[in-house]
Structure 1
Amino acid sequence: MVNIILKIKMGRHAEWRKIAKKERRKRIRIIKAKERDQIFCTDWYIKQQELEEKMIHEQINKQNDEENEKWIQAEKIVMEQWKKLQEEKERLKQKCLEQEAKLKVEWELEKKKKEIEEQRIKAAQEELKRKQDIFMNNLDLFLSGDSDEPPAELNVMRETRPDAELCPFFSKTACCRFGDLCSRNHQYPGISKVLLATNFYNHFGLSNANVSEYDTDIMLEFEDSDTYKEYKEFFFDVLSEFEKFGRITQFKVCNNYEKHLRGNTFIEFAELRCAVAAYRSLHTRWYGGRQLSLQFCNINSWKNAICGLQLRQRCPKGRACNFLHVFKNPNNLYNGYYTHESVQEKDSTPRSSERSWRWSESPEKEVSKRSSSRRHERSDRRSHRSRHREEKNKHYRRTSPRRSERR
């Protein structure tokens, strides 16, 4: 019971003590606040506060001035960059305008130059056509027999490089591997007794004689005898057509492998009028699906034009020689070098009565016959290939080392 009373009394005292401490702290705070207020109300404190506020305002103003200065400087830099960019854009724009104006001027100059060139080419073509018409009219007058001697317009000599030396190969063979691009002079006669048909005789054995590195066996199926066999047909077919215009004194066909000589056909007539008539009639004619291109040329000496070592089969360059390697004509016709040795009687040469299917005015005529003949040629080639393979297999069986060991 006593303990309970003591605890009650002790509990009440603790609460009282707590309240007393709180009131004591409150009185102390009030006293300090009064002291502080007394201090704040003094002139010194007020001055100190004003000085602090002034210093703070000065620092803020200083920072603001610095920031404004930085912003102004940055704005100046940006404005300078913007001005430079605008100047660069203006300069590029001006440059583009100048370039467009320059291109426009160049295009106009090029257009004008092109028009002048077209007019020049047109005038040159018209002049060439006019000269060709005059040339053909003179040929017709000469062929009509109005004058024994050819007119002066036909005896002109066209030169590729008048100031240069004469090309030795062209002077001898009327052919040059460089053509008109040769650094030396080529002389083309207006008319002459000799006609040249460039690359007239065409055969697989000539055009594919230079063996390709990718197809080394291409020429195993063709021999010189095949080429010569077709040449004989070509010889009698073409010779009969040219002999209609007059007596022929030379007929040479090249079997060279070089492109500027391959298949070139030379026809020399006894009379100038005959050569002119043949040119007038056969130029741009069609033979075997190919257009014939004739030109007049000068062969001063057949002996100098034809390779002398060819007849003895001792030419070191073979058929790649730049002198003429010619086929041996059938029946020994026109095989000599000189005119009096080469003239043959008409009756001694066999001629076919029927006109060959190869001659035509245009390539569209007689297509069916040509296609059938081509099919026959293909079949002949296939049979020739099969025979060649059989012979090759027989030779292999005879010379095989295994068979020799068995024997």
Structure 2
Amino acid sequence: MVNYFVKINMGRHAEWRKIAKKQRRKRMRIIKAKERDKIFFTDWYIKQQELEEKLLLEQINKQNDEENEKWIQAEKIAIDQWKKLQEEKERLKQKRLEQEAKLKLEWELEQKKKQIEEEKIKAAQEELKRKQEIFMANLDLFLSGDSVEPPSELNVMHETRPDAELCPFFSKTACCRFGDQCSRNHQYPGISKVLLATNFYNHFGLSNANVNEYDTDIMLEFEDSDTYKEYKDFFFDVLSEFEKFGRITQFKVCNNYEKHLRGNAFIEFAELRCAVAAYRSLHTRWYGGRQLSLQFCTINSWKNAICGLQLRRRCPKGRACNFLHVFRNPNNLYNGYYTHEIVQEKDSTPRSSVRSWRWSESPEKDISNRTSSRRSESSDRPRRRSRHHEGNNKHYRRTSPRRSDRC
């Protein structure tokens, strides 16, 4: 019981000591605060505070002045840069305006020049059209026989290199492996009796004869006899079409392997008028799905143009020769070298009297008029004699439709 009261008293004393210490600290803080307040309210302290505030204000003003000076300098720099930028913009604007004015002036000059050129071209086209009408009228008169001489526009000679020497191969064969890029001169006549159809005859055995190392077996199933058999059909089909315009004195087709000679067909007429009529009618026509390209050429001597060693099969270059290697025509027609040598012996193989399917009328106009006029002309011509009416052991003379009266 006694111990219990002792513990209670001891606990109360600890709380009392704690409260006493707290009160004591509070009194000490109050005393210090009063002493500090006495110091703060003295004249010396007030002066010190005023000095410190004055120094601080001076520092702030000085710092503000420095910042203000920096801002003013920066503003001056920015204003100078802005002025330079404005001056540069004004200079670029002025330059752009000058350039636009210059371009506008150039465009106006160009338009004026273009207009003058268009007027010149229009005048030239009208003059060319007028000359073309006169030329076509003179050409029609020449073809109809009313005029003896051909138009003067056709009696000209076109040269590729007038200052150079004549190309010997072109002068003889009217063909050159270099074409118009040859360093020597090529002379093209305006009109002549000889027509050249470049690469006219086309056959697999002829165009694929020069095999390369990868196609060594491509020609095993094709022989020269196959090529010649197709050539016979081609010969009779084409010859009958050309004979409609007049008498033919030479008909040669090349079997060379060279590209500039391969399949070239040379057709020489007896009269110049007939050659011009054939050129006008058959140029750009279609045959066998290919467009026919005709041009006038000059062959001074067939004997010099055709390879002399071909017939004896002794040409060292073979079909790669640059002289003409020609097919032997069926019925021994036009196989001579001279224009007056026309062999009249013919076998019993008739030519086709009807138009072949290979000839296409698609590039021509007025097909119905042409076909009707052709039928009326065929009705007026004498009928051909059939080989069955002649007998098996007799030779017959075949007459082909010709237009010599038109020439």
Mapping 1:267-306, distance limit 5 Å? 267-306=267-306
Q: CA separation of 1:38/1:84 partners in 2, compared to 1, >3 Å: closer, same or farther? A: same
Matched, 1:233 2:233: yes
Give, in whole Å, the separation in 2 of the partners of 1:240 and 1:123: 44
Question: 1:266 Cα shift?
Answer: 0.9
What fraction of aligned residue pairs are identical, expressed as a percent?
A: 87
* Partner in structure 2 of residue 395 of structure 1: none
Number of matched pairs = 365
Question: 1:7 Cα shift?
Answer: 6.1
* Partner in structure 2 of residue 36 of structure 1: 36
* Partner in structure 1 of residue 53 of structure 2: 53
Q: CA separation of 1:261/1:11 partners in 2, compared to 1, >3 Å: closer, same or farther? A: closer
Q: Partner letter of residue 38 of structure 2?
A: Q
Matched, 1:345 2:334: no
For normalisation by structure 2, the TM-score amounts to 0.69
Give, in whole Å, the separation in 1 of the partners of 2:42 and 2:338: 151
Question: Does the 8 A contact of 1:248 with 1:343 survive in 2?
Answer: no
Give the number of the structure with larger relative contact order, counting CA–CA contacts within 8 Å between residues 6 or more apart: 2
Mapping 1:129-208, distance limit 5 Å? 129-146=129-146, 148-150=148-150, 152-208=152-208
Mark the runs of 5 or more structure 1 residues left unpaired by the alignment.
367-407
Give, in whole Å, the separation in 1 of the partners of 2:13 and 2:277: 161
- SS of corresponding position for 2:166: coil
Mapping 1:212-361, distance limit 5 Å? 217-315=217-315, 317-340=317-340, 342-345=341-344, 351-352=350-351, 354-357=353-356, 358-359=358-359, 361=361
Question: 1:252 Cα shift?
Answer: 0.9
Question: 1:193 Cα shift?
Answer: 1.9
Give, in whole Å, the separation in 2 of the partners of 1:216 and 1:99: 68
Q: CA separation of 1:219/1:78 partners in 2, compared to 1, >3 Å: closer, same or farther? A: farther
Q: CA separation of 1:25/1:352 partners in 2, compared to 1, >3 Å: closer, same or farther? A: closer
Question: Does the 8 A contact of 2:206 with 2:257 survive in 1?
Answer: yes
- SS of corresponding position for 2:226: helix
Give, in whole Å, the separation in 2 of the partners of 1:353 and 1:11: 152
Question: Does the 8 A contact of 1:286 with 1:363 survive in 2?
Answer: yes
Mapping 1:56-135, distance limit 5 Å? 56-69=56-69, 129-135=129-135
Q: CA separation of 1:151/1:43 partners in 2, compared to 1, >3 Å: closer, same or farther? A: closer
Give, in whole Å, the separation in 2 of the partners of 1:124 and 1:257: 44
Question: 1:18 Cα shift?
Answer: 4.9
Q: Partner letter of residue 354 of structure 2?
A: R
Q: CA separation of 1:318/1:15 partners in 2, compared to 1, >3 Å: closer, same or farther? A: same
* Cα deviation code 1:223-256 (max 9, x no counterpart): 3222211111111222233334443322111223
Q: Partner letter of residue 293 of structure 1?
A: S
Mark the runs of 5 or more structure 2 residues left unpaired by the alignment.
369-407
Give, in whole Å, the separation in 1 of the partners of 2:32 and 2:94: 82
Q: Partner letter of residue 57 of structure 2?
A: H
Q: Alignment RMSD, CA only?
A: 4.3
- SS of corresponding position for 1:195: strand
* Cα deviation code 1:142-175 (max 9, x no counterpart): 3444455546444222334434433333222222
Give, in whole Å, the separation in 2 of the partners of 1:65 and 1:172: 106
Q: Partner letter of residue 223 of structure 2?
A: E
Give, in whole Å, the separation in 1 of the partners of 2:355 and 2:183: 42
Question: Does the 8 A contact of 2:154 with 2:190 survive in 1?
Answer: yes
Question: Does the 8 A contact of 1:173 with 1:323 survive in 2?
Answer: yes
Question: Does the 8 A contact of 1:142 with 1:148 survive in 2?
Answer: yes
Question: 1:51 Cα shift?
Answer: 1.8
Question: Does the 8 A contact of 2:258 with 2:322 survive in 1?
Answer: yes
Question: 1:19 Cα shift?
Answer: 5.2
* Cα deviation code 1:91-114 (max 9, x no counterpart): 777777777777777776776666
